[in-house]
Amino acid sequence: MTPAIANVVFSVRDYALNSADHSHVVSISVFVAVICLCIVIGHLLEENRWVNESITAIVIGCISGTIILLMSKGTSSHILRFDENLFFIYLLPPIIFNAGFQVKKKQFFRNFGTIMLFGVFGVFISSAIISAGSWWLFPKMGFVGLGVLDYLAIGTIFSSTDTVCTLQVLHQDQTPLLYSLVFGEGVVNDATSVVLFNAIQKIDVSKLNGWAAAHIIGDFLYLFFTSTALGIAVGLVTAYAIKELYFGRHSTDREIALMSLMAYLSYLLAELLHLSGILTVFFCGIVMSHYAWHNVSEDSRITSRHIFATMSYIAETFIFLYVGMDALDIEKWKMSKTSLWTVVGIDSTIIFLVLLGRAAFVFPLSALSNYLHKTERPPITLKHQIVIWWAGLMRGAVSVALAFNQFTYSGVTWDPVHATMITNTIVVVLFSTLVFGFLTKPLISFLLPRNVLDRRPTADLNSPKEDFTLPLLSMEESTTTNILRAKDSLSMLIERPVYTIHTYWRKFDDNYMRPFFGGEGPRR
């Protein structure tokens, strides 16, 4: 190769690289500018009765995507492509970590049993209904070509809820029980959907039999508990390191940086070990807020809460914008060969199955929860049940990410059937967020007026049954006394299991955990 030709080749290569870098910078600049626009418009519409920030971000995303396509004459749809890796690795962790870090632990763990009923068993029930319904109804509409794993995956894809719209309307101080249930179910639901989705991917279709369900449940339980244990372990290690090293005497920045990076590391470790990063980083956030947050300086406490909340807010806005823009990716729409009426039928069927799947577990499990906790807390009223049912009707970015994981390869699909499922998923997400989200504020205002507070009756708050004074078994007392204490404790455990377990955990926490890992002083 002559020097002249070599110079030409290198010049062309450098020009191509510079063009690619310039295009990348342009796309990032557009996103940042539109996020700023969303923040401003969301602030101006904060008191609006019908619109919330999620709807605002999606609408602005669709408008921005349309403008970009028109300006590029339909040639720049690639910058609008949804990337599930970007979502799972960079955008989801700060949202879930902040949810765990900011959660009111007392309410969350007081209603932990009900939250797990909705967030775990509810997902299994909803997934089964959506999978079976789509398996039965899709071929009747002439939509064929999906396999067994595809139908099972569809159940988990559309069982993942997005409760952001509802949580933006509910008030944690006015409706603590309802807010705790909606918030807790939303986080656990997303984690369960992802874990169940990953468990389904391991199924061998050629050996699909009665043991397949047992394998799914076994894989799910393994992923659930190991992911939780990893998050707790990382949170405790971080708390102990901050307590012993006392970074705050030199720099509060180091404390916040260590907490942030350790939380992100817990998520990455879970993904590397093929566990659930959502569960891991959520419980890591809970443990850090319970121990590590009390070990840092006062400046770090204030700053950390605002930093984590800000990162979560930006990530949520970015996701809704991303989904809105990706709806304008013309390549997926061109790839789908399904007729318009078939697409409408598929979308209508999915939405109907989502409505049915939510109702199939919210109302029965609420009745079961009321029966099991009838002496411990106020019942979940019918109005509360309707709000919980409605809160889970909206689908979000997790559904889109799981759909891309199932039906595309690196965001691209050449199968018309799979392309149809991608476009249908986007349509369902947009429809549920815009329509159901649009009606959320009026519905909650009608069912739960501002002057109706979700307070526990005074008699229940002052009930002597809640003020447990029985200590743990003591080696300093006689065997007879300990036996009597154990008998009384067992009676309380049978009568009020949640409160009894919580009481003994508080004693163990005050006596053993806090002195070692740090935290606020013992609660008396």
Mean predicted lDDT score pLDDT of the chain? 78
CA 399 to chain centre: 11
E strands, 277-431, are none
In which band, very low, low, confident or very high, does the pLDDT at 10 lie, cut at 50, 70 and 90?
Answer: very low
Determine which helix (DSSP H) or strand (DSSP E) holds 291, and give its type and residue range: none
Whole-number pLDDT of residue 134: 94
Whole-number pLDDT of residue 263: 94
Whole-number pLDDT of residue 456: 43
Whole-number pLDDT of residue 18: 58
Whole-number pLDDT of residue 468: 39
Residue 509 above 90 pLDDT? no
Query: How much is the pTM?
Result: 0.79
Residue 462 above 60 pLDDT? no
Query: What are the residue ranges of CATH 1.20.1530.20 in the chain?
Result: 45-204+212-468
Inter-CA distances, 163 with 276, 389, 436, Å: 20, 10, 11
pLDDT tens for 282-331 read 999 999 998 888 888 888 888 888 999 999 889 888 888 888 887 777 77
Residue 173 above 70 pLDDT? no
From CA 85, how far away is CA 88, in angstroms rounded?
Answer: 5
Whole-number pLDDT of residue 67: 82
Give the chain's end-to-end CA distance (angstroms, integer).
Answer: 83
Question: Does the CA dihedral 150-156-159-163 come out positive or negative?
Answer: negative
Whole-number pLDDT of residue 459: 38
From CA 503, how far away is CA 524, in angstroms rounded?
Answer: 11
Please list the alpha-helical segments (H only) found in 392-464: 397-407, 416-431, 437-438, 440-447, 458-461
45-204+212-468 topology per CATH: Na+/H+ antiporter like fold (1.20.1530)
The one-letter amino acid code at 278 reads: I
pLDDT tens for 50-61 read 677 778 888 888
Assess contact for 82 and 149: CB atoms under 8 A: no
From CA 200, how far away is CA 153, in angstroms rounded?
Answer: 7
